Amino acid sequence: MTSYKASLADPSAVPPGSLRELVRDWSSDRRAFNVSWGKAMMWIFLLSDTFIFSCFLTSYMTVRMATTGPWPNPGKVFALNIAGADVPLILIAIMTFVLISSSGTMAMAVNYAYGGNRKRAALLMCVTAAFGVTFVGMQAFEWTKLIVEEGVRPWSNPMGAPQFGSTFFMITGFHGLHVSAGVIYLLTVAIRLLKGRYERSGNYQIVEIAGLYWHFVDLVWVFIFALFYLW
């Protein structure tokens, strides 16, 4: 016990790479594996979220292949009537473009933050959040069209297999919730940047951590787009 306490007080007394070194780092809230705790916890959260989305998408594919009823054609279900002609997946294409563009603005925000330009970083984070709000707004329009005009419900679907409604609202709704939470997260960090909250420490890694979350949300949408709208 005495040697253990001494090792905590004197870092040089702990052999590098040993179990005692790991215990010392955890107990003193220091970096382990050369990664900050904020970034490590975000990666752990994103890993757990990956499992959830993987289960949702796997369940969707299983239900779609197992159902006996005809599955609605996404090209017709998600088409918009423009100038008298039905344009398939036009809204979904715009939503995808908006979300992918937001990844670019978020990456630039991280770059400016590490460069010490907090005002430009905050501005780009606000632009990213605006892209997110636009995406959620278009998703709300998509839901309204399906529910009001097409009569799709989580338990029924006039265009074919009833499982279509339940899987669609569950997966896209869960993703939309992540986008909405991300918008609040980005705006909160942006406001703190403008107020100089991170100016004293000079540690702008919080912007990178927020960027990790946002890039994850964008990546998940790519899989949803491929499996739900193109398949």
Tell me which fold the domain 35-229 belongs to.
Four Helix Bundle (Hemerythrin (Met), subunit A) (1.20.120)
Percentage of the chain beyond pLDDT 90 is 55
Q: Is 86 helix (H, G, I), strand (E, B) or coil?
A: strand
Q: What angle do CA 121, 208, 48 make, to 5 degrees?
A: 140
The pLDDT of residue 8: 46
pLDDT tens for each residue of 52-102: 999 999 999 999 999 888 888 888 888 888 888 888 899 999 999 999 999
Residue 17 has pLDDT above 70, yes or no: no
pLDDT above 70 (res 5): no
Instruction: List the chain domain ranges.
Output: 1-34, 35-229
Q: Mean pLDDT of all residues in the chain?
A: 87
CA nearest to 56, candidates 175, 154, 226, 229: 175
123 residue type, one letter: L
- The pLDDT score that the predictor gives to residue 6 is 47
Two tokens, residue 214: 């946002």
Give the mean model confidence (pLDDT) for residues 25-36.
61
The token pair at 95 is 């939503």
**Total residue count of the chain as it appears in this document:** 231
How far apart are the C-alpha atoms of 223 and 153, rounded to whole Å?
23
pLDDT at residue 172 tops 70:
yes
Nearest to 214 by CA among 202, 206, 226, 225: 206
Global pTM reads 0.83
Residue in 69, 48, 77, 57 with CA at minimum distance from that of residue 170 = 57
pLDDT in tens, 180-194: 999 999 999 999 998
With 0-12 / 13-18 / 19 or more C-beta atoms within 10 angstroms meaning exposed / middle / buried, residue 64 is middle
DSSP H helices, the chain, are 2-9, 19-27, 37-66, 74-77, 90-114, 118-144, 163-194, 205-224
Beta bridge pairs of residue 85: 82
Is 50 exceeded by the pLDDT of residue 141? yes
Sign of CA dihedral 145, 229, 70, 59: negative
